[in-house]
Structure 1
Amino acid sequence: MNVSGRELMRLLESDGWIPGRRSRHGIFYQKQFGGESRPRFTVIPDKSAPLPDGTLGAILGPKQTGIGRAGLQSLIDKN
């Protein structure tokens, strides 16, 4: 699945993720989930090129966004 960093940012913002500060590597995003005491954070690279599969998999994994590839596909279909 070829998704650029900027496209992923747009999709996450439509899912309720809030952009935060900018770092050298990208932009921090956070979202508070019900039942969790702390918000989740992830850093999305600010690139127009497609993200490598490992980077995309780590961002979508349970330790960061928890969306998964199926959830990403549903966000793409919804937008």
Structure 2
Amino acid sequence: MGTVHQAKCRDCGHVFKFSEGGGFKFAIINCNSCHLAISVSWEVKRRQNTHGKCSCGGTYSNEAKPRCEKCESANIEDLGTTIYFD
């Protein structure tokens, strides 16, 4: 099950939403350098740790955490789940 969270950047104070987890057939993978994310099948996520290059020059990675969409910091505070999806 996937979730949408509201978050606040601890560096710049920007409040934004990010998705985490995935749906019945897909997983959400974050870039390790910016706020962008892609979706891949669960099978692909299990087979490989990285999932190609992002347009920012970073890499989509299973370990990458969500980032602020304003300053790209990974130093964020999760303010809670707003939506559950599948």
Question: What is the TM-score with the length of structure 2 in the denominator?
Answer: 0.29
Q: Greater strand percent: which structure?
A: 2
Greater Rg by CA: 2
More helix by share: 1
Q: Which has the higher contact order (CA 8 A, sep 6+)?
A: 2
